[in-house]
A and B are shown apart, each in its own frame.
Chain A
Amino acid sequence: MAEDVLLRLDRVSKVYKVGAFGGRELAAVSDVGFEVRRGEVVSLIGESGSGKSTLARMILRLTSVSGGTITFDGTDVSTLGRSYYRQVQGVFQDPFSSFNPIFPADRVLTMIRDQFFPRAAGWSERVAAALEDVRLDPGQVLGKYPHQLSGGQLQRLLIARALLLDIRLLVADEITSMLDASTRIDVLNLLADLKARGLGVLFVTHDLSLGTYVSDRTVVLRQGRVVESGPTTQIFERPEHPYTRNLLASVPRLGAKWADEAAPTGLPDGTPVVTADGTGNATGNVATHVTEEKA
């Protein structure tokens, strides 16, 4: 079982120094721990300010870690060199910002070859295979500029880029939030396909229903802390933490109106209040569906 664990976060924290002379500290992430295993999709659910994107950036080594350790295959990722990126890749929220606007979009693929496989034979065949895996027609995307492609096509192109590296873990940070509903689901299905190929996927999202659709296990974050984690079905059917319950109740569903637990006006503001020291009113108790997890 243990060798199945690809990524492990152990009491990971991120503290930002803010204010004049860095006098104040703001905790973006505090004591977060979870695992991503081979062949599973883990969704990291959180609202704005939950620290979910900071976590994704720390896993991708784009931001330094203030405390705790992140290990990949049992090795601390900070000790791994460039080879880390042959195994772990990321896709970000804004497809249009992920591409350098002045170059053709397929430059992200060429960059992989230049950096990792400068003398690879049969490169165009590999590109064709990767594009097929993400269901893109090479003729429609190769040689085009980013603004000539749709958001969905661009995100697929980025997944294809990651596949060229034979990665083992993909960090997908809100990759569908800027896509239209009719194309969003196809990108989500791709994540499920990756899982079927034995990859681990960390799907970061604010949308519980998207997380539920695609993931095996769920980690719910609030103000930098894990409030609940466990198998997705359990969290969805029997949420234990009040925050998760509230989140679930707020998700709009077509064909079912929100339960009328309050008058239409005068509602409490749902936005969490963050106090100056950053600890805010985050609740200390963490609901974990331990039994299933260790089974």
Chain B
Amino acid sequence: MALRVTDLKVHYRTRRGEVKALDGVTFSVADGEIMGLAGESGSGKSTLGKSLIRLDSRMRHVGGTVELDGTVVPVTDKRRMNAFRFHKISIIPQYSMSALNPTRKIGRMVGELLASRGVRLETAELERRLELVGLSAEVLGRYPIELSGGMKQRVVMVVSTLLNPSLLIADEVTSALDVSTQKAVARTLLGLRDGGLVGSMIVVTHDISLVYQIADTIMVMYGGRLAEKAPADAVATSPRHPYTRALISSLPEAGVRHADKRLQGIPGSPPALLDPPPGCRFRDRCPLAFERCAEQPPFAEVAPDHFVACWKAM
């Protein structure tokens, strides 16, 4: 197991109280596994991605552990995390491609970034990797404004994986891109893993159809907790959690027409995480809810590698 997360709880401090953004999640990611982490806004997916590498000042680690390759990751210790960050765990943050310094040429920016991490820039290796994602070494002499969104995103990918991290977290890396560019970027992620440049990968996204294209497994979050984790095909064809089912049936797959089949969304809205009700978080919107749902269902393995947190799925 490359990554093992046990009962991780991370809360956000606000003036009105603590928002339980991540409320006890336990899962693991195997070596070489690409895990898609899907969920809607407020599901806790981005919080989970960030918790594995960098707690910001508003986030508070309430409990739980993170282990990478058998070593405990000191997520709460800023100083000791430096040894992990970028070296062992790397993140491509959301909007990172828009955050490139517009006044620096790409090459110089990469050099400065590496220097700040105490790493020497090996130009030949950098160029080899750029080529691997379909960029010519020429981009190093260009300014960010001269590159398209997809090219910038790939530059960021190459930089984040320069030290062959065991774990790469990609946070909504395709969400601001056109469909054809999305495809290229998603395939680049796949290439990074297949080329052995990263160990395993967590791809955080709101687009379950997109992540299905490249992920080995898909984990669905809802209301700060895990709903389901299973091989990608199992999630697509035989989801067990009522939320996953409702979510998938609300997707207008290309070709489905309103006139033929009127799809339905999920009525209601996600629970407020400031003071969430006890029991299953999906209870209020769930068509299958019954008395027992007042008790939180465990995230249990119902079939090989298929985990579901639902009483009805067991």
Q: Do A and B bind each other?
A: yes
A48 at the interface (CB under 8 A from B): yes
B133, A252: Cβ atoms closer than 8 Å:
no
Q: Given A182-B266, A253-B209, A271-B181, verify A264-B194 contact (CB < 8 Å).
A: yes
A181, B251: Cβ atoms closer than 8 Å:
yes
A265, B253: Cβ atoms closer than 8 Å:
no
A189 at the interface (CB under 8 A from B): yes
B236, A271: Cβ atoms closer than 8 Å:
no
Q: Given A212-B255, A255-B212, verify A250-B265 contact (CB < 8 Å).
A: no
B254, A186: Cβ atoms closer than 8 Å:
no
Chain B, 128-141, contact with A by CB distance < 8 Å: what is the 0/1 string? 00011110000000
Q: Output the nearest chain B residue to A255 by Cβ-Cβ distance.
A: B236
Task: Please provide the chain B residues from 115 to 174 with a CB less than 8 Å away from any CB of chain A in the complex.
Answer: 131-134, 148-151
How far apart are the CA atoms of A213 and B148 in the complex, in Å?
30
How far apart are the CA atoms of A251 and B252 in the complex, in Å?
12
Minimum C-beta distance from B186 to chain A (A)? 8
How far apart are the CA atoms of A207 and B179 in the complex, in Å?
8
The size bracket of the interface on B is 35 or more
How far apart are the CA atoms of A42 and B87 in the complex, in Å?
50
B206 at the interface (CB under 8 A from A): yes
**A271 contact from B134, B148, B191, B264, Cβ within 8 A:** B148
**A270 contact from B180, B210, B256, Cβ within 8 A:** B180
How far apart are the CA atoms of A207 and B175 in the complex, in Å?
12
Which chain B positions have C-beta within 8 A of A207? 179
How far apart are the CA atoms of A189 and B213 in the complex, in Å?
27
B83 at the interface (CB under 8 A from A): no
Task: Please provide the chain A residues from 250 to 281 with a CB less than 8 Å away from any CB of chain B in the complex.
Answer: 250-255, 257-258, 262, 264-271
| Max chain A Cβ within 10 angstroms of own Cβ: one of B236, B257, B258 | B258
Q: Output the nearest chain A residue to B43 by Cβ-Cβ distance.
A: A180
Stretch at the interface among B49-57, B96-104, B242-250, B290-298: B242-250
B40, A251: Cβ atoms closer than 8 Å:
no
Minimum C-beta distance from A157 to chain B (A)? 15
A236 at the interface (CB under 8 A from B): yes
A271, B256: Cβ atoms closer than 8 Å:
no
B246, A182: Cβ atoms closer than 8 Å:
yes
Which chain B positions have C-beta within 8 A of A262? 187
Q: Output the nearest chain A residue to B191 by Cβ-Cβ distance.
A: A265
How far apart are the CA atoms of A270 and B184 in the complex, in Å?
7
A212, B41: Cβ atoms closer than 8 Å:
no
Which chain B positions have C-beta within 8 A of A258? 183, 187, 213
Minimum C-beta distance from B100 to chain A (A)? 16
Q: Output the nearest chain A residue to B248 by Cβ-Cβ distance.
A: A254
B269, A150: Cβ atoms closer than 8 Å:
yes
Q: Output the nearest chain A residue to B38 by Cβ-Cβ distance.
A: A181
A154 at the interface (CB under 8 A from B): no
B314 at the interface (CB under 8 A from A): no
B134, A214: Cβ atoms closer than 8 Å:
no
B206, A180: Cβ atoms closer than 8 Å:
yes
A265, B132: Cβ atoms closer than 8 Å:
yes
**B255 contact from A185, A209, A250, Cβ within 8 A:** A209
Minimum C-beta distance from B259 to chain A (A)? 8
**B253 contact from A183, A188, A254, A269, Cβ within 8 A:** A254
B178 at the interface (CB under 8 A from A): yes
Q: Given A183-B266, A188-B258, verify A254-B236 contact (CB < 8 Å).
A: yes
Which chain B positions have C-beta within 8 A of A184? 250, 265
How far apart are the CA atoms of A138 and B10 in the complex, in Å?
36
Q: Given A185-B264, A252-B213, A255-B237, verify A212-B148 contact (CB < 8 Å).
A: no
B195 at the interface (CB under 8 A from A): yes
**A254 contact from B182, B191, B209, B265, Cβ within 8 A:** B209
Task: Please provide the chain A residues from 173 to 199 with a CB less than 8 Å away from any CB of chain B in the complex.
Answer: 180-186, 188-189, 192
Which chain A positions have C-beta within 8 A of B236? 254-255
B254, A212: Cβ atoms closer than 8 Å:
yes
How far apart are the CA atoms of A3 and B230 in the complex, in Å?
55
| Max chain B Cβ within 10 angstroms of own Cβ: one of A48, A206, A271 | A271
Task: Please provide the chain A residues from 224 to 266 with a CB less than 8 Å away from any CB of chain B in the complex.
Answer: 232-233, 236, 246-248, 250-255, 257-258, 262, 264-266
Task: Please provide the chain B residues from 251 to 303 with a CB less than 8 Å away from any CB of chain A in the complex.
Answer: 251-258, 262-266, 269
Q: Given A182-B266, A189-B258, A214-B258, verify A252-B237 contact (CB < 8 Å).
A: no
A210, B252: Cβ atoms closer than 8 Å:
yes
Q: Given A192-B258, A208-B254, verify A181-B208 contact (CB < 8 Å).
A: yes
Instruction: Contacts A182-B266, A189-B265, A266-B132 known; list 10 others, CB within 8 Å.
Output: A181-B250, A209-B255, A213-B252, A252-B179, A252-B210, A253-B253, A258-B183, A264-B191, A267-B183, A271-B149
Instruction: Mark A residues whose CB is within 8 Å of B.
Output: 47-48, 150, 180-186, 188-189, 192, 206-210, 212-214, 232-233, 236, 246-248, 250-255, 257-258, 262, 264-271
